[in-house]
Every structure is written in structure tokens, then in C-alpha cells.
Structure 1
Amino acid sequence: MTSAYLFLRKAKSKELTLVYVGLRHEEGYLRVSTGIKVLPKSWDGKKHQIKRNGISQVFIPPYLLSQMNGAEETSFLNRFLIEVCRFVDSRQSLSLDVLKSDVKDFIRNSEGDYLTDFYQDMKRVVSESKIQGIEVSKEMIQSKINQYQTRERESVTMLNYFEDFILRSEKGVRMPKGKKVDQNTIRTYRATLRVLKSFLMDKGVEDIYFGDVNLNWVADFKSSMSQKRNWRSATLGKHVARLKMVFREAYEHGIHTNQIFQTSAFNVETSVGQGIALSDEEIKKFVDVKLPLKGKLDKVRDLFVIMCHTGLRLSDAKRISPDNIIKSKEHFYIEIVQEKTDAAVVTPISGVVWGILEKWEMSSPPIISDQKFNDYIKEVAELVFGEDETILQTHLEGGKVVSKRVSKSSLISSHVGRRSFATNSFRKGIDSITIRKITGHKDSKSFESYVKISEREHADLFRKQLESINYKSK
């Protein structure tokens, strides 16, 4: 990582010239004027500072003059230049455009600029209120004052940072756990950004600073998304989790000091997962259903059956190649590094899966997008179950518990394959630790959400285990 440096715009000039701060950024070069002008002969090129004897030949911009408060000029200006460099160094992870804007705001962070902006903004508020027939209240004025007090502390808004967060993810600059963010995840970031923009628009606000977010704002966001959009708790939870991620990273980058993301305000109450799991008999129906050979539904059905038999995620099942097939003690296995966790897993190959792999030249069927997969597998499920087979589903929707019957085929998605593998393995009496080694679940809590069996089935499994050690039950 390079460090910020100072240089003169015209190092050989005989007249006053601007002092610039620079940085060799991975996207190019940062060059921002500090507003300070010196004669080149008054500049120490080795120490990158103003010489002590050059103070009479220095131009000090107004936004710095107001902050000097009688301080010795050379020392004050050199300290300011050091602070500018430190500020640039602390924000190197930002994209070049956002970093440049951030540095300019830091340099010109003067009271006069904010007062002018505040005056213009308040004129706009009064004008718009007259048009709408609304009286300007004390609360409206105080809210605007709070916004500008926050602005003096922050130079990057939430939307600006979120957009930069996405841009850095796309360019591979932002690499959580040392791994590039995949396109599917980036699409979810964009979805949450659109939700945030829509919410702010509904509130008549173009943007917001992190420091403006309080408990009431978070509660309002959650209530608005839950009730007005009739979101299920799971959907709301995903968007809130992404906002929390952006909030945390902006905090770590020194963009703001608001620690509200660490409170329970960013938690979302979720109902018990209502996802379904298919039995071995139901999975066989998918194997047996007649489909056009190697057509789109055939490809999706085969990939789904592979997941049901191996416990692989869709992102991993799509990547199976001959290199992933290994043989050990007369048995064949699939060994693959999970795309999501970077952890290697090994799963046995059943006869059904072997037949599918042979059909596709020892690889998974040709790649298809996740969205298309989930659309097409529902079409296959309709052929298997028909539209009359329904299931009662209960979930939180719009903040209320809702129960309704839905067609079984509508619930089939890529997650059902992995969930069915975990559930059927557990039903067979395989211990959870072994199953987790196959599926790659790191903790029991996330694994347990995949196992879909009733309390009665738990009791039967427990009884069978007891009987296996000669325990007699009635």
C-alpha cells in the first residue's frame, strides 16, 4: 500500500504555486489541491513541508485562516498538510472518485461553506412548504440543523458510500475474507440499495448521513418495508443484514462514528423456517418423470437430483467436472471446494448420480443461471406433483402471522435439494456431525434449519437408537 505525498503544481515557478496532495491509487493517480500556495524556494522538497523562513511568501486560503486562532502560521500549515496526508492514507480502500470527493470535503471543511449551504437549503424548505401549504415547524428546522451538524463530522453520505461499496466489490478491491464477491451477491447489494433509495424518496429525502440514523429511523424503515411492501420477515431480514454490513464497513473505514449497527435495532424477528424437504420416494419421482432428452427441463431436473443426493449447493453442483471425481477403496466420491466458504467437502456418489454424470460426460449439466434454475425446477415439480397437491405454510408477512395453503410445486427451489439431503440423511440415523462434514455446515444452528422432520419423527429416531443398544420400549 502506497502513502500520500505532497508536491508543488509548478515546482520551477518563480511565483506562488499550489501545494497538492497526491496518491498512487490502484485506479490511477489522486491529485487534489490543498488551496495553500507557496513560492518553490520556500518549499522543502525532501521533507515535503514549508520552510521556516518562507512564511512571508505563502498564501493561506480563507477556510484555513478562520481556523488558525492566532497559531504560528508555518507550524499550523505544516500540521494541516500532515493531517491531509493521514486522511488520504486512512481512506485508500475507497474508489478513486469517492476518495477525491472525500479529500476535497476534508480540506474545505469550513464553517462558512456549511452555513451557506444551510441557508440555501432552508430557503428551499420554506419555498416547498409554501407550495404544499405546510407550515414550517420547529421540528423541521431542528431536523435540518441536526443534519448539518452531522455533515460537519461526515463527508460521505450513506448512498454515496453504498454505491462505492458496490463498485469496489465489482472491481475486486473489496474482498471479504480475501475472496472476490460474486455477481449474484453484488446483485443483492444493488437490490438493497434500490430499497434504501425508495424508502428515502418516500420520506422526501434525497440522501442521508450515517450519523442521522437513529432507533426511530431503523424502526421506521423496518415497519415501512414490512407493512407497505408486505415483506416476509426473511426478506426484510436479508435487506437489514446488508444495511448492517455497509454500516459496519463504513464505521471501520472511519466514515462515521455511529455504532447503532451494533444494537438490537438491526435485528429482525423471523419465524421458524417453512422450507420443505422431499422424501426419497418423492426424489425418485423427479428421476422417473419423462422429459425431452437434454432439454432445459432435463438439465435442471438432473442438477436438482444431484443436489438431493450429494447435499451440494447449486453454485457447487454446477461446477462438477471429471477433476472433481475421485476413487478411494473401490468407491467414487465428489471432492469440491465450496464457492461460498472456500472449504473442501467430499460426498459419496450414489448410483443415481453416477448415471447422471455419465449422461453429461462425467460433469454436471451445462450451466444455467440461478433464477432460470428456480423457474424451470418449478415447472418440473408441476409435472411431478400436479397443481392439486398443497401444503399449509405459516410465516410472518407484513408483521403478522399468516397461514395459507400453497401448491407444493411452488415451494421447490435449489435450496430444497440440499435440505432434502440433510433431512433424509438424518432420518436414516446418520449423526449430524457426519452430515455437516458432507454439507459443509460449520455450526449446528444453521444445519438444524435444514433438517425438516416433525417432533414425532424425532421421537421415533430416538426410540430406534435406544433399541439398537437393546433398550426395550413400548
Structure 2
Amino acid sequence: MELMNQNSVFVPQFDPQKMNGKLTYKVIIKSDYVRNDGTCALYLQVYLNSRKRIPLDISVKLDQFDKKKQRINKKCKNYKDYNLIIEKRLADINKIEVNYRLNNQALTLNRLMEELENPSLRIDYIAFAKRILEEQRGVLKHSTYRQQKGALSKIEQFKSPLYFYEINEQFLIDFRSWMKNSEKNKPATIEGTIKNFKKYLHAANKKGVNTELKFDDISVKKMVGDRTFLLPEELKILVKYRDSEFVTKSHKNILSRFLFSCFTGLRISDIESITEENFIGDHLAFTMQKTSKFIRIKLNQYANQMIAFPTLWEGKYTREHINRELKTIARQLGIKKNLHFHCSRHTFATNFLISGGRVENLQKLLGHSEIKETMIYVHIVEQIMDDQIDLINNLFK
């Protein structure tokens, strides 16, 4: 290592060096092109299986650049500032290379350039997570992408930027508290958000980003989501409203989708994806969006009748809008339940079992990979039966 001459700024000198047997870099002046002001541009030339020239946004005259030391000499009045810029860029490359080596990761030229161009990715959790999410967008299901993007938006709403050094146990406590008390999120929503937070923290830790709180320090509680369902008399109220002369067009369209799911158990993602071509006689054949499973189900009488309704396909609505309107409809009709689209799936499952359907068949209809997922509905029906058996106590009151 060399030091600059007396009375000059003390800046460490890096000779072109080979790292991991692949990476070399040096500062060069592009002497084959002289600008009108007599200066030439400086570049950082990097070799990593191939060559890349990185502009340093510095231009000096040929006699102001020391090719041996790869620094700007005193003939340039801004030599101290320019040399600091050069050193900063060299130090950035060295830091990236060392980090990859310590974490046993292969450093490529593309990765090196990405790290140099986006230094915030190793500083800010939000910037890092957004980049990873967009990289995975092509392989994630659309519903998964939406869900994870929503979780990141919630984290960003709580704190942005979120520096990696700020991620500790207290941050997690404060974040959970904010979701519960300020945002009034339900436990399932909170745990789902924490699960996504943990995913991107894991990715950062694997890339060598050090945090006080590691991903494996975070425990996510397994929550049973809201299992609100409608009873037959409540379904009749909705059908009557949909067929009335007072219903608005959007309510009619939204209720048609919701009721069709109440009679088939389809998720909203499947309602959005199926077309008339998926109906074969009195059967519906389609690939589930969430699980990629192909399923063929026989339509019951009510579902068959609804296929003829053009409102099943009319109008384009976001899921958020549909859920808001379902809550409005429930209030208007005096249904005192927190209605949202997924209630339709719970409604189908619960009424299927109440009507005598077998749990093994329900598992196939819902596309559950494990029977324990379906058994949740069995427990709900058992609770209903237990509650109703107590009604006999009123006979002698």
C-alpha cells in the first residue's frame, strides 16, 4: 500500500488486485477521447470473467492523472476531492467482494453492478424486500404476489425507510402493537404480515446482511382465520335481494358471484379465472389458482341455475370493492355477520356437512391437501349440534 506525497490527503492506494482468482479492478483514463476542454474521462475498469467499465464522473487532463498510482495528482486543483471519490468506489467494490466471500456466495459481474448501483439494498429493508418481490413476481401466483405486496405496504406504512440495524426485538414488539391497536388488524392478519416480514429478513440474512434480530428468532403463530358462514335462511335473504327490483346492478353482479361460490365452494381467485368454457354439461372443470390442482365437480341444482345469469360474468370489481359491498349488503339486509367473499367458501363447506356430506368428499371439493384443513369445518358443525341439543332444555321452562 502506498501513501500520497507530503501535504496531500492521506488516501490508501489499491493496486489492481485479483480476488477469489476472478475479480480485478483498476482506475484508467480514456486517453483515446479528449473533450473540448482538454480533459479525458476516468473509469473504474472491472474484470470478472468479462470486462466492465464504470464511469467515475470525473474528467481531468492527461498530465493530471498518475497511471502508476491510479490517482489524480496535484496539477488538478480538485485532486483531493476526486481521489476521495475514487477511493470510495474502490472501497465499495472491496466491501462487496469480501461480503460475498465470507458468506460463500458466488459473485458475478451482474451482481456486482447491482450492488454498486443500488447500495440501499444492503441498508434499507423496504428497498431490499421490494426488489426481491419484483424478482419473484414471474414465479409467484398473482394472489400470492398481491398478498405479499400488501404486507410490504403495511410495513412501509409503519416505518420507512426501515434500516436493517433498526430491526431488533423492540421493533417487532412495536410493529405488532401498531397493527393491533392503531390498525385494528385481526390476529390472523398480524401473523400473516409477520410471516412475510420474516421471509424477506431471511433472504437478507442469507445474502450476508447482518441484523440484531435474525429471521429464526421470529416465531409466527399459526392462526385459524375467520370462519364466518351463512345459514340457509340467510342465503335465502341474499337470493331474494339479488332477484328484487330494488337491487343495484353492481350489487346484483357481486351477489351472483358470491352466491355461486356459496353453492360450489370456489375461491374468489377461481371465480375470477373461470369462463363459460369451463362448464361441461352439469360439471365444472378447472385448475385451482391457489394450489394448481385440476378439479372436476358436479354442479348442484342451485349452482346450475346460476350459470344462466349473465350477472355472474358482468362487471369488473377489485376484491377490496367486493368485500366492502358485501358488508354494505349485509347491513342493509340485517345480517349481523362480518361478510366477506371467503365466507362463501365457509358457507358451502359448513352447509355441505350439515346436509350429511362426507368430510373426505368435502376435502376433494375444496382442494385441501390435508384432511386436517377440512376437519375445521367438522368441529364447527359439531359445535352447532351441541348448541342445538341444548334447545330441548327449554321444553319444560
Q: Verify same fold: TM over 0.5.
A: yes
> Which secondary structure state, in structure 1, belongs to the residue aligned with residue 123 of structure 2?
coil
Secondary structure of the residue that 1:310 maps to in structure 2? coil
The alignment's C-alpha RMSD in Å is 4.6
Whichever residue aligns with residue 235 of structure 2, its letter is I
Specify the alignment match of 1:295 in structure 2. Answer: 249
C-alpha separation in 2, matches of 1:239 and 1:303: 28
Number of the residue aligned with 2:122: 155
Q: 1:86 aligned to 2:86?
A: no
Q: Is the 8 A contact 1:277 1:417 kept in 2?
A: yes
Q: 1:370 and 2:319 equivalent?
A: yes
Cα deviation for residue 358 of structure 1 reads 1.2
AA aligned opposite 2:231: S
Between the aligned partners of 2:112 and 2:370, the Cα distance in structure 1 is 35
> Does residue 131 of structure 2 align to residue 164 of structure 1?
yes
Q: Distance in 1 between matches of 2:68 and 2:41?
A: 11
Matched, 1:379 2:328: yes
2:100 equivalent to 1:100: no
**Structure 1: which 5+ residue stretches go unaligned?**
24-29, 38-53, 69-75, 106-153, 198-205, 390-406, 461-474
Counterpart for residue 43 of structure 2: 18
- Tell me, yes or no, if the aligned pair for 1:237 and 1:268 is still in contact at 8 Å: yes
Deviations 1:270-299 (A, max 9, x none): 5x5453212334323322334347711111
Residues 1:244 and 2:193 aligned together:
no
> Could you give the per-residue CA deviations for residues 1-21 of structure 1, whole angstroms, max 9, x where no partner exists?
xx9997967374698942244
Instruction: Assess if the C-alpha contact under 8 Å between 1:91 and 1:253 holds in 2.
Output: no
Pairing 1:304–2:258 present? yes
- Give the deviation of 1:311 after TM superposition: 0.7
Q: Is the 8 A contact 2:354 2:381 kept in 1?
A: no
Residue 202 (structure 1) aligns with: none
* 1:124-168 C-alpha deviation (Å, 9 max, x unpaired): xxxxxxxxxxxxxxxxxxxxxxxxxxxxxx8322132234345x2
User: Which residue does 2:369 correspond to in 1?
Assistant: 442
Q: 1:453 aligns with which of 380, 383, 391?
A: 380
- Tell me the equivalent position of 2:341: 414
1:213-235 CA distance string (max 9 Å, x none): 22233223323433455443223
Contact 2:42/2:55, CA 8 A, preserved across alignment: no
Contact 2:263 2:348 in 1 (8 A): yes
Q: Percent identical across equivalent pairs?
A: 19
- The answer for the alignment partner of 2:272 in structure 1 is 318
Contact 1:211–1:258 (Cα < 8 Å) also in 2: yes
2:176 to 222, 231, 235: 222
State the Cα deviation string for residues 23-73 of structure 1 (Å, max 9, x = none).
9xxxxxx96458999xxxxxxxxxxxxxxxx9846449669989x9xxxxx
Aligned to 1:175: 137
Aligned-partner Cα distance in 2 for 1:31–1:443:
55
- Secondary structure, in 3 states, of the residue corresponding to 1:285? helix
Measure the CA separation in 2 of the matches of 1:438 and 1:220: 41
Q: Report the alpha carbon displacement of residue 312 of structure 1 after superposing the two structures with TM.
A: 0.6
Q: Secondary structure at the match of 1:307?
A: helix
Q: CA deviation at 1:419?
A: 0.7
Aligned length: 332
The 3 A distance-change label for structure 1 pair 180 and 360 is: closer
* Alpha-carbon distance change, 342 to 22 in structure 1, aligned in 2, over 3 angstroms: farther
Q: Distance in 2 between matches of 1:193 and 1:22?
A: 39
Q: Which residue of 2 aligns with 1:267?
A: 220
- Alpha-carbon contact 1:218-1:266 (below 8 Å) kept: no
Contact 2:126 2:162 (C-alpha < 8 Å) held by counterparts: yes
Partner deviation per Cα, 1:373-426 (whole Å, 9 max, x = no partner): 122223333454x2xx6xxxxxxxxxxxxxxxxx23xx1110110011111222
2: CA distance, partners of 1:379 / 1:323: 32
> How far apart are 1:100 and its partner, in Å?
0.5
Stretches of structure 2 lacking an aligned partner (at least 5 in a row): 1-21, 35-39, 60-65, 73-82, 388-397
2:163 match: 209
Q: Which AA in structure 2 matches 1:86?
A: L
Tell me the secondary structure at the aligned position of residue 308 of structure 2. Answer: helix
2:292 to 324, 330, 342: 342
**SS of alignment partner, residue 86 of structure 1:** coil
Q: Is this contact kept in 2: 1:419–1:451, CA < 8 A? A: no
